[in-house]
Chains A and B, each alone.
Chain A
Amino acid sequence: QKEVEQDPGPLSVPEGAIVSLNCTYSNSAFQYFMWYRQYSRKGPELLMYTYSSGNKEDGRFTAQVDKSSKYISLFIRDSQPSDSATYLCASVADGDKLTFGTGTRLAVRP
Chain B
Amino acid sequence: KAGVTQTPRYLIKTRGQQVTLSCSPISGHRSVSWYQQTPGQGLQFLFEYFSETQRNKGNFPGRFSGRQFSNSRSEMNVSTLELGDSALYLCASSLLPSDSPLHFGNGTRLTVT
Contact = CB atoms under 8 A, between A and B. Distances in A.
Contact of B98 (A44, A92, A100, A103): A92
B43 A43 contact: no
A98 interface: yes
B56 interface: yes
Interface in B73-103: 90, 92, 98, 100-103
Interface in A16-43: 32, 34, 36, 41-43
B8 interface: no
Given A34-B100, A49-B100, A97-B48, A43 B42 contact: no
A80 interface: no
A100 B101 contact: no
A98 B100 contact: yes
Interface range on chain A: under 10, 10 to 19, 20 to 34, or 35 or more?
Answer: 20 to 34
A10 B103 CA distance: 25
Among A34, A44, A96, find the residue whose CB has the most chain B CB atoms closer than 10 A: A44
B45 A98 contact: yes
Nearest to A99: B45
B3 to A, nearest CB: 9
Interface of B: 4, 6, 33, 35, 40-43, 45, 48, 56, 58, 90, 92, 98, 100-107
Interface of A: 6, 32, 34, 36, 41-46, 49, 88, 92, 94-103
